[in-house]
Amino acid sequence: MTDRSEDAASSAMRDTNNVAALIEEGELAMNRGDVDAAVSIARTACDIAPQNARAARALSGFLVVSGDRDGAIDQGERSVSLDPSNLEAFIHLGGLLASVGRYREAADYLSRWSELDGSGAIGHRILSTAYTCLGRTAEAVTAARHAVQRDPENAEYRINLASNLVARGRHGDAIAVLNEAEAKFPGDARIHRAASGIYDFLGGDKLHVALIEAERAVALDPNDEEAVRHLDNVRKRLGIVTSFGSIGTHLSRTARTERIRHPSTLFGKIGKRLSVIDALLRRDMQTKFVKSKLGYFWAVFEPISHLMTLGVLFAFFNESPPPVGDSLFLFYCTGLMPYLMFSHLSMEAMNTRAGAGSLLMLPGIRQTDIVAAKAVLNIVTETAVAIIVFAAFGAVGFDSWPHHILVIAGAIGLLWLFAIGLGLINFVLREFMHSWETWYGALVRLLYFASGIYYSPISMPEEAHRILIWNPVLQAVELFRSGFYRDYHPTWIHPAYLTIVMLVTLAAGLSLEQISRRRIERHR
């Protein structure tokens, strides 16, 4: 027995009416692991002073450890009734009642406790659980929010708030709470596991985000068996074969090992970036395409259906002859194809962070790597669409075979790089000005009608013509179109101007992304 224990025992034996000494002796017995002695001493204290709330509270705690929860609840109720101002006693009793499924009583006690001055976070946390089990989801959200407000440094309280928001059907608010938690507690696997569960529940195109979050959770805590099982389930829902392994884990491993595999030379750095981009590209292809056997078909068919629908509508309602060639439909499609590639890629590059926040947290992965992977997938898909569409035109008798392949390739290459640069600029602007996405969307819609898709600039008034030819998208569209028509050589096409605009835009996008990277990372 320690000196302190001996002093308390001596004091209790000399004066059994000294309740404080008895409670201290009981606590010391509990610390020694002598639960029965602690309970016996606390009962003696309660017998000596039946109106002493502290003795009742101590006995309740000792009875919990002994396994007598009913007795613990009785003593907890006595403690609260004897001292209604004791916040800790309220929390203790509420937690006990909740632990045995008496949620209504727990909520009753804790709701009264929460009205007292100085109510702490843990009581609100328990109260939110009681309300959740009672189906009172609105009150559960309020209690969970109070817990976060009183202890903002507790990540579990934020996860609990997100869970209660999900129960209310407020999935967007739940994700926002988890995003804030991720920024405040980077590296907490529980946050990513919770986010993955929400995206998994939403299903559809959110499943690939659920996969990213699940892989991040497992990478942070590989010993969490429940998180590992969840990851396997998400991968199965996406149709990803287990033998491919975890893409997120592969990306992380790639980022960690490429420094060793490639020397710190220019070619080594290029090799490292290409390896990361390759892993990201394969991840995009798996998450977007392999979830169904029709995945590749739909990826190509969707833009084709867009082209066909718009082309047929405009060809049907416009009976005038095409500005170039014999087919109005072919004229429209030669304008729509490069424009759609540009708009899709620039928008995807701008919104990269929204769907890849967790990937950006993996070591060695940059914003530019993700944009590059998306750009490669974009050009491959758009090329497949072009081949299918123009082959279909040729099959029905149109002269759709391009006459200048190199001109077409040059136009697409310049517009593709311009879209990447503009997308990176938009990404940075969106980080500093959240409304920029709306403004850029309006600009893209304006370009739909200002890029020569449905007309030739030669047919426009001189004043409009002088303005329109400065539009780099129109320049690319007309250059692309000139590759299809043998005798179409418009004088307003200036490849040198388009090249300069592309180089300036790409350099500006890469520079802005590099300059703003540290600030953006601090706000993740």
User: Which domains does the chain carry?
Assistant: 3-187 (1.25.40.10), 295-522 (no CATH)
Write out pLDDT tens, residues 307-335. Answer: 667 666 765 666 667 677 777 777 888 88
Q: Is the pLDDT of residue 168 over 50?
A: yes
Write out pLDDT tens, residues 444-454. Answer: 888 888 888 87
Q: Is 410 helix (H, G, I), strand (E, B) or coil?
A: helix
* Closest by Cα among 69, 72, 67, 34 to 56: 72
Kindly report the number of other CB atoms within 10 A of residue 406's CB atom.
9
The pLDDT of residue 258 is 44
pTM of the predicted model as reported, rounded to 2 decimal places:
0.51
| Contact predicate 356/349, CB 8 Å | no
Q: Which string of DSSP letters, residue by residue, matches 224-271?
A: -HHHHHHHHHHHHHHT--GGG--HHHHHHHHHHHHHHHS-SSHHHHHH
| Contact predicate 248/359, CB 8 Å | yes
Out of 253-267, 271-285, 328-342, which region has the weakest mean confidence (pLDDT)?
253-267
| Contact predicate 483/489, CB 8 Å | no
Q: Is 372 helix (H, G, I), strand (E, B) or coil?
A: helix
Radius of gyration of the chain (CA): 34
Q: Is the pLDDT of residue 405 over 80?
A: yes
- Indicate the pLDDT class of residue 412, thresholds 50, 70 and 90: very high
3-state secondary structure 24-38: HHHHHHHHCCCHHHH
The pLDDT of residue 506 is 93
Q: Is the pLDDT of residue 381 over 90?
A: no
Q: Which amino acid is at 515?
A: I
The pLDDT of residue 14 is 41
The pLDDT of residue 187 is 83
Task: Tell me the C-alpha to C-alpha distance, in Å, between residue 26 and each of 39, 43, 52, 54, 59.
Answer: 7, 10, 15, 12, 9
> What is the Cα–Cα distance from 269 to 163, expressed in whole angstroms?
43
Chain mean pLDDT for the chain: 77
The pLDDT of residue 245 is 43
| Contact predicate 38/27, CB 8 Å | yes
The pLDDT of residue 438 is 85
Out of 229-238, 286-295, 416-425, which region has the weakest mean confidence (pLDDT)?
286-295
Q: ∠ CA 304-307-309 to the nearest 5 degrees?
A: 105
Containing 482, the helix (H) or strand (E) segment is helix 472-482
The pLDDT of residue 101 is 75
Provide the token pair at 20.
């404080």
| Strand extents, DSSP E, 236-395 | none
The pLDDT of residue 6 is 44
